[in-house]
């Protein structure tokens, strides 16, 4: 048996993975009280709060330090302030614990973007900090879809090994075993609203018209008559130019369609945007048919029903098109490879957020198994 500590533990993705390999959690920490509540409910351990308030020397000895440290400072979805962000300094807290306790292995997870932000400065700093403490560092980028889990979620895993031990390298590619995600029957409370069905049906009416055009940017109705200005970002100019061209090509039909659904389309700005990410649009296509959909600030995003969009902490829950409903929290848990025996928060809103913040259990287990089997036998 090996001992590990679980920093920024969330609802326990690392815990489930490492316990499956024979590990024992001797310390856990997370500042979020709802995560503390669920962690204790599942594992019988109540995580301590803010890790910055814990004296490193007081933490129990352990073989592995693991954690998915906060990604907001490095994420494309955040402001990408990196170490200038207060949350970014939590990395320094990890380093202080490593320096004090000298575990055999460091296993950290973060967004893939951490490797390129600030032209690689953050990535190089992470390596240098741990190398100066006495660790050999390697990293690997993995996503659940490589394991047969239908979610694209690329994350970088940093594997640090103390210099008195031989680093085993990075794990080989995983074996792909297709994983069933969808429940046979979901509660009707997850059905999409009548209003949203009406929006999708409205777009279905215009798809046969615009499908003859090559659409390479989101369709944004508000850009149909927009005029470019010199101070605009280049991406926005491109969007306006291509939406103008689409409008001019189908002006008569689009004007009639927008007038017909004017009241509905003006209810929310997102209803007036369509991101078609399934390849070419065909006349027979509909929004719901054989698609996964997300209603996002950037628009109604339509994707092929093969791989779900990345789960995120904010509630942009994917819609299963053919079933006209949202993914349930249990299905999201399956996308993160949690066993069905894992208890989820009773409030769906909280459960969605926690799962969007979690690591994928299968991926962590794959990385940890490779390292543990070579260093901790």
Give Rg (Cα) of the chain.
23
What is the four-CA torsion angle of 155, 140, 90, 36, rounded to 10 degrees? 60
- What count of Cα atoms within 13 Å lies in the side-chain half-sphere of residue 37? 10
pLDDT at 276: 93
Delimit the domains of the chain by residue range.
2-179+339-375, 188-327
State the Cα–Cα distance between residues 234 and 27, nearest whole angstrom. Answer: 49
Q: Which of 3, 1, 2, 6 is nearest to 364 (CA)?
A: 6
Statement: residue 168 has pLDDT above 60: yes
Give the DSSP per-residue string, 295-322.
Answer: EETTEEEEEETTSBPPP-SSS---EEGG
Cα 11 to Cα 333: distance, rounded to the nearest angstrom: 11
pLDDT band at residue 308 under the 50/70/90 scheme? confident
Which one of 25, 35, 71, 332 is the catalytic residue?
A: 71
Residues ≥6 apart with Cβ < 8 Å to 48: 27, 28, 29, 54
**20 with 365: CB under 8 angstroms?**
yes
pLDDT of amino acid 76: 44
Which is it for strands 23-29 and 2-7: parallel, antiparallel or unpaired?
A: parallel
Give catalytic status of residue 71 as yes or no.
Answer: yes
Mean pLDDT across 189-214: 95
Cα–Cα distance measured from residue 292 to residue 33, given in angstroms and rounded to the nearest whole number? 32
CA–CA distances in Å: residue 311 to residues 100, 316, 351: 35, 8, 12
In this prediction, residues 285-313 reach a mean pLDDT of 89
Q: 179-188, 192-201, 310-319: which has the minimum mean pLDDT?
A: 310-319
Taking each helix axis as running N to C, give the angle between helix 33-43 and helix 348-357, from 0 to 180 degrees, rounded to the nearest 10: 90
The count of other CB atoms within 10 Å of the CB of residue 289 is 13
Q: In this prediction, what percent of the chain has a pLDDT beyond 70?
A: 94
What's the pLDDT at 87?
Answer: 43
| pLDDT tens-digit map of 9-52 | 999 999 999 999 999 999 999 999 999 999 999 999 999 999 99
Average pLDDT score, the chain: 91
In contact, 16 and 342? CB cutoff 8 Å: yes
* Domain 2-179+339-375 in this protein, CATH class: alpha beta
Q: Calculate mean pLDDT across residues 174-192.
A: 92
- The Cα–Cα gap between 273 and 223 comes to 10
Residue 122: band (very low, low, confident or very high) from pLDDT cuts 50, 70, 90 = confident
Of 14, 1, 2, give the one whose Cα is nearest residue 43.
Answer: 14
Does pLDDT of 79 surpass 50? no
pLDDT at residue 142 in the model: 96
């Amino acid at each position: 048996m090996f001992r590990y500590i679980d920093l920024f533990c969330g609802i326990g993705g690392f815990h489930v993975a490492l316990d499956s390999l024979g590990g024992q959690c001797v310390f856990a920490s997370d500042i979020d009280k709802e995560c503390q509540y669920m962690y204790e409910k599942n594992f019988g351990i109540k995580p301590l709060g803010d890790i910055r308030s814990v004296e490193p020397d007081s933490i129990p000895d352990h073989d592995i330090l693991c954690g998915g440290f906060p990604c907001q400072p490095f994420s494309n979805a955040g402001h990408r302030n990196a170490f200038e962000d207060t949350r970014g300094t939590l990395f320094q807290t990890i380093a202080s614990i490593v320096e004090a306790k000298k575990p055999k292995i460091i296993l950290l997870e973060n967004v893939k973007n951490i490797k390129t932000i600030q032209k690689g400065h953050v990535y190089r700093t992470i390596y240098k900090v741990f190398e100066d403490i006495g660790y050999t560092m390697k990293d690997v980028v993995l996503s659940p879809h490589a394991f047969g889990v239908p979610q694209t979620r690329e994350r970088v895993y940093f594997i640090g090994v103390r210099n008195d031990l031989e680093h085993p390298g990075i794990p080989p590619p995983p074996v792909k075993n297709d994983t069933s995600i969808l429940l046979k029957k979901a509660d009707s409370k997850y059905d999409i609203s009548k209003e949203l069905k009406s929006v999708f049906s409205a777009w279905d009416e215009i798809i046969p018209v615009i499908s003859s055009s090559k659409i390479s940017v989101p369709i944004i109705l508000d850009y149909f008559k927009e005029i470019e200005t010199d101070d605009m970002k280049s991406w926005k100019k491109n969007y306006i130019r291509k939406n103008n061209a689409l409008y001019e090509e189908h002006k008569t039909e689009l004007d009639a369609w927008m007038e017909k659904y004017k009241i509905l389309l003006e209810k929310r700005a997102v209803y007036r945007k369509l991101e078609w990410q399934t390849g070419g649009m065909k006349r027979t296509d509909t929004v719901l048919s054989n698609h996964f959909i997300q209603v996002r600030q950037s628009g109604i995003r339509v994707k092929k029903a093969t791989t779900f969009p990345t789960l995120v902490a904010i509630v942009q829950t994917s819609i299963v098109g053919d079933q006209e409903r949202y993914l349930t929290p249990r299905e999201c848990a399956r996308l993160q490879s949690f066993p069905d025996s894992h208890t989820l928060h009773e409030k769906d809103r909280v459960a969605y957020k926690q799962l969007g913040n979690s690591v994928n259990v299968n991926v962590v287990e794959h990385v940890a198994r490779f390292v543990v089997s070579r260093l901790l036998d």
